[in-house]
Structure 1
Amino acid sequence: MKTDKLFYRIFLWQPELIAELVPGIPMDCQFDYSAPVVKEQEQRIDGLFTPVGDDPDLPLVFVEAQMQADRGFYGRFFQEVFMYLRQYEVSRPWRGLLIFSSRGQGLGVETPYRLLLDNLVERLYLEDLIPRSDLSPNLALLRLLVLPESETPESARNLLNVEASEEVFQRRLDLVESIMASKFPELSLEEIREMLDITQVRLEDTRFYRDVLQKGRQEGRQEGREEAQTEMLLRLLTRRCGELSDMQRQQVISLNSGQRDELAEALLDFGGMEDLVRWLQTDEN
């Protein structure tokens, strides 16, 4: 999975992370993700998060992850934001959330955009997370992306040991596995799970482990985890594409683990139900 897609998947599945990074947004605020096209330039905005609900004071959040040098980054970002605001006649406030790998990344001059950067935009430099041990689980998840490979497995195991409900644990585990797969592409999923001690389930302190332990054997744990991932995927598809038919739900349920991961990545670019229909038809072929 490409790193930029992985960032938006993290925000889509862990929406409270936006509230952690952007001051003034309630922790329970829910967002819809989209990647709209600005028609005049036919440019696609990477990540737009729109608050769910009727509160007009909650802002749109434009999220962009930039991991490479780009001397024209700030000019392009603000151009896309203001073109979107004009094209869609936005009436609510907006905020920006920019994620960079380091402070010396080479993103061009900031001076013309200083007022916007200081007042409407939050910038997160992932390198600042590396030495910290006081991070929330969501920020610890982002930290995995930039940790040295030698430190990543232990940090991932520690993150999975954090107390969580079953649903939160399932989402967190799926994202951790995706991050590990992007950092260790030569490893199979089984080898990654072994690295994370999933096969031995060293998660005795989590509520999920205690609940599943009561249900039975390792096979039951795996089935329960896959069911939870499928249910989460169905909910995300419903929010993104609209209500699914019984046949479409069954098609999604019948996907294997690899196909579910592919669909979870693909839905970030979906604009509506027609994209889901097209994806399912392509997958059948």
Structure 2
Amino acid sequence: MRLARKGPVGAEIPAVVTQDGTLDARPVTPDFDARFFGSGGLDRLAAAVAAGGLPLLEDDETLRVGSPVARPGAIVCVGMNYAAHAAESGATPPEIPIIFLKTPNTVVGPFDDVQIPRGSTRTDWEVELGIVIGTRASYLGSPEEALSHVAGFVLANDLSEREFQLDVSGGQWSKGKCCPGFSPLGPWLVTPDELDHRALGLRSWVNGEPRQDSSTADQIFDVATVVHHLSQYLALDPGDVILTGTPEGVALSGRFPYLSAGDVVEVEIDGLGRQRQQMVAFDRARA
């Protein structure tokens, strides 16, 4: 299934995107949130779709596209998970996953405008595969067990402010990762039965010019390893999101300019859709 949320910020409608149209999922759930994922919601939703029990979503084409996951309890990120990106960042590939956190209030829709943070000169893009947790994962016994805890996958742009992240961070990356709007997700959550997450092409563009072009097959730590590893150190709850790292081709490499107001960033992953963000100047009233 492809799950989406459509409508104004704070009033998104849960929906299922099918070949025959977009279905309104409200007869099954008020939202795609922790309660939905943790209570067998995906199974109930699939049964309703198969039975023809969901109506078409009215005015679907005119509605804003929101994040396909309502505000997660946690966004856990893996850094330096592609060897070439580690190299362009001046680091050696890690031997164990490096993690950092983003605040849940950074989540926005895949086509929402994103402000350049106040005083920023080093705002960067990062196309990433996101994992959505379906059932609580804590102290899992093996990577093979981990995949049964995955509800689906999403496209993400892990936007970053490199000065905040590296120069004034105090050694913790999250300061450069948590600016408002820095976690666009979507347009869909795709359930694991619909795609092979092990070899998905992922790409990015700035103002129509190619930046990143790689495959999840080049990850140092694959999805199962990441979920299993994280579960040894923290509990992953239903609806939590894991961002699995970005390939080479970001501005931090020194090969491309950083983002500024007016720039358009596009990111894409095979089977997970495409995003487009217009970068806009800082406005205190919107911060």
TM-score w.r.t. the length of structure 2 is 0.24
Highest Rg: 1 or 2? 1
Q: Which one has the bigger helix percentage?
A: 1
Higher RCO (C-alpha under 8 Å, 6+ residues apart)? 2
TM-score w.r.t. the length of structure 1 is 0.24
Q: Which one has the bigger strand percentage?
A: 2
